[in-house]
Structures are given as C-alpha cells and as structure tokens.
Amino acid sequence: MPPNSARRSAPRAATAALLGVLALLAACLTAVATVATAVPAAAAGLTQVTSFGSNPGNLAMYEYAPANLPAGAPVVVALHGCTQTASDYFADSGWQKYADMWGFALVFPQTSSANNSLSCFSWFDSTKDTRGKGEAASVVSMVGKAVSQYGSDSHRVYVTGLSAGGGMTADLLADYPDVFAGGSVDSGLPSQCATTQSQASSCQYSPVSDTPAQWGDKVRSSDPGYNGPWPRVAIWQGTSDYTVVPANGTELRDQWTNVWGISQTPSGTQSLPGGTTLTTYNDATGKPAVELYSISGMGHGLAVDPGSATEQCGATGAYFLDTICSSYYTARFWGLDGSNPGGGTGTLPAPAGLRVTGTTDTTAALSWTAVSGAASYTVYRGGTRVGSTTSASYTDTGLTAGTAYTYTVAAVDSSGTTGASSAPVTATTTGSGGGTPKCFTDNNYNQVAAGRAHQTSGTVYANGSNQNMGLWNVFVTHTLKETSDGYYVIADSGCAA
C-alpha cells in the first residue's frame, strides 16, 4: 500500500481517524528504517537470481525449488506486502511447505525503498503496473527465467500477493492473462482501481461505486483483444481490515466474475476453519472460476495457521495472522495438489481419511471416509484421473514395483459435478523395481549427512520422493528404502531388502 498502509482500528469519528492515520504513518516510517538495515532474502533455501532479463521495474528476483523438481512442474510467483521482503514472505507465508509437498517452483520478486518509500509494489501507478511496463514487465521476465531454468509448464504459472502485492497480483492477471493460469489476491485491491498514487487511498479506505461491467472493462482494456481463457482467481479478505476495507473483496469478486461472464450470485457456500466463509462462482463447466474467502474478525494481513497438519502452514508475525492457511486452500484451488484446477465446486467436501490399505508389486489399495451426497468418487494418481468407484475404496493396478505414487480422491454428486479433492497420500509398491532395494534406518541428522535426505528450514525430506521426515535432529528416526538410484521413500512399517 502507499503511505498509511499499516493496520489500524476502525475510526469512530473524524478526529480519531486523523490521529490514527498520523500515528500509523509514523509506525510505517519506523518499519521502513528497520527494513533498510536488514539483509534481504536471507532465509535458508532462498536464492537470488541476479540476471533474469529485462528489468524496467528495478526489482530483485529470488527463487526456491525443492530438490529433484521434475520437468513440467508449475511455478508460483509470490509478491510481498509493504515494508516486507522476499525473505519475510518465504519464511512466513507457508508456500515453501507446499512446494516441497506437491512439487513446484517458487519465485519471490522484491521491490525496495528506491521504488517506493514503504517498499510497496506500485499497483496504483500506470507507468509501472501495466502490460510491458515497469514492475509488471519485470515480474514476467522472472517467470520466463524460471520456466526456462526448471523446464516448467508455461501453462501452469500462478501469482499470489499480499496487500500492495495483492493489488499488483490483480494487475498482473489483467495485464498478462496469457501468462498466468490463476491468481490469489490477499487483502488486496481490484485491477486498475487506481492509476495514480493520489487515487490509491480512495480504493483502500472506501468502496468504489463501479458496476461489475465497469470493473470487468478495466481488465479487458489491460490486454485489448484477449478473449480467454481467463485466470482462476481466489480472493482473501478479513472482515475487520481497516487498511484495505472489505468492500475491495466484493469489488474483486464483481470484477472477475464479470470477466468470466458468470453471475455474482454464489454457486455454493461453505464454512472453513478460522471463521472463514467460502463462496464459489462456477464457470460453465461447473468448476469454480472465482472463490471469495471472507475471514470473520481478521484484520489486514495474510491468513496463516501454524502447525504440522497438511492443511496448516506459515508462521505468525507482522501481517501474518493466525486464522487459516490461505496458501493451502489457494494451492488446492489451482490444482497444485494433483487435483483438477478449480478444486471442484465446493458443494461436496473433500473426502477425509484417505489412506493406503495395502500394496503389492503392481497394485495400491486405498480407502477413505464416505461423503454424504456422493454418487461416486474419482481417483487421481499424480494429478491424472485413473479411475472411478461408487464405494469408498479403490485398487489401482498395473503399477511398477518399488515405486512411490501420490493419490488424491474427489467426491462426485448425482449431476456429475466434482467436489474438492482430498489431501494426498503416497503409496509405495513392493518389490525392487528392477534392482535390489537397500534399507537404511537412522536418525534424521545422519540421514541428511549420508546424502539420503536433505533439510530445508529445519525440516528433513527424503531425496527423490521429497516425503516429509520431520525435524532435522538426532531424536527422530526413520527407515528409508532406496527404490532406485538416489530415490528414497519412507519405509517405517517394513523394508524388505
């Protein structure tokens, strides 16, 4: 955000509002002074790329990718908020956890006080946030670099951002719908809500009375002649945000549903953890094109939920608020967990309790808790549909011995509409897979030292499979099976060499 972007209490009178603004301006300037003395992007595993192509926006590029990232993996671009750095966003947002878990690359653009006094991305400046210009063009250069470097799928590039980074995210989706398959605007603003800094405060603090069609026109005029497909957009907004008022979430909803040519009437509503209400807006095929997450009582910041469960992520701090893991739900909405992009309609919940009940050298048996209202279930292996069943169990066949496979399951209603996908599980077939597997039982510290695993930010992951082994210490012990050269899977339940 431009000046006055720190979180503040709701004003009750004009005098209180003025005093609050002055106090927050002082707080923001203090924060800038602190940031200026820090060494940016020092988090473990985050690497700066000093040459990535055209950089008219004077941005810095940082990146992260899990070990052994396969070709064709997605890329997620994550934009920090004001007074923050790429390192802050990497450390606290939770995106690294899902990059490791589901296999994709991360790009963290970073602006500085040389561009904006509060290190904000310039979402309100038409010389910097439009197609082919300034910061927007620099971010797209970073995307090109990452896609080339990692051999990534150029059709699965996504962008997310907080606050000013959220405003820039909306602009990037409008400027480059041919580059980004989806976006997530967290406590941000509609695309082209402001075109000068003097207009920015009006967008932040009070509703703008544009119609959905007028909001949609701002997107369509950002890349004239483009007719789709349009990015799928998630919108995250706290109901007690007084820096970017909640009306911005509604305006973003109006903007992107109009771009998609769909109704502003929800296709479904769902209650989620952290006092969160999810409303979905489906495209013509029944998949969510736009999702609006409204978090009751949350102020200005990114929603996180520290913890070790699959759906938990991040760390609390300034503008990282303990409510719900937005990165988890956003990643699933985009299909990064191996499910279909769009994540289903939300009318049927994700099947719970997905587990592996048995394996042979060529099969993997799965079961899960039945979903009320489900007519059938679709089973995905590595993100590809492999079968359908009317029961809450399935056996996948024709597999390779000694190989790890990742599965998710989604419920399908009587109309054939697919709901949200489950959390993934990994099944490892028995046998050697063409060679004799070796088994290694040791603590996590020694597994890393021996080259069978690696650690990132204090968490250990098996080389090859990237399975989470827990904390990097001598107190946690696992058995690893080497199913092929340099590829290890957790085999605590038994490892037949």
Q: Contact 274/328 with Cβ under 8 angstroms?
A: no
Please work out, in degrees rounded to the nearest 5, the angle formed at the alpha carbon of residue 330 by the alpha carbons of 65 and 344. 120
Residue 491 CA to residue 476 CA, distance in Å, equals 14
For the chain, the farthest-separated pair of C-alpha atoms sits apart, in whole angstroms, at 76
Residue appearing with tokens 């946030």: 129
What CA dihedral angle connects 463, 469, 474 and 480, to 10 degrees?
Answer: -50
Amino acid code (one letter) for 38: A
How many Cα atoms occupy the beta-carbon half-sphere of 482 within 13 Å? 15
Residue 271 CA to residue 280 CA, distance in Å, equals 12
Is 163 an annotated catalytic residue? yes
Catalytic residue among 163, 184, 191, 465: 163
Residue appearing with tokens 């979903």: 371
Q: Which of 6, 86, 21, 10 is nearest to 48 (CA)?
A: 86
Residue 446 CA to residue 464 CA, distance in Å, equals 17
The helix/strand/coil state of 72 is coil
DSSP 364: E
CB 148: neighbour CB atoms within 10 A? 12
Q: Contact 119/59 with Cβ under 8 angstroms?
A: no
Q: What six digits make up the tokens of 99?
A: 């990059």
Residue 450 CA to residue 463 CA, distance in Å, equals 11
Helix, strand, coil in percent for the chain, rounding step 5: 25, 30, 50
Tell me which H or E stretch contains 23: helix 14-37
Which residues are the active-site residues?
163
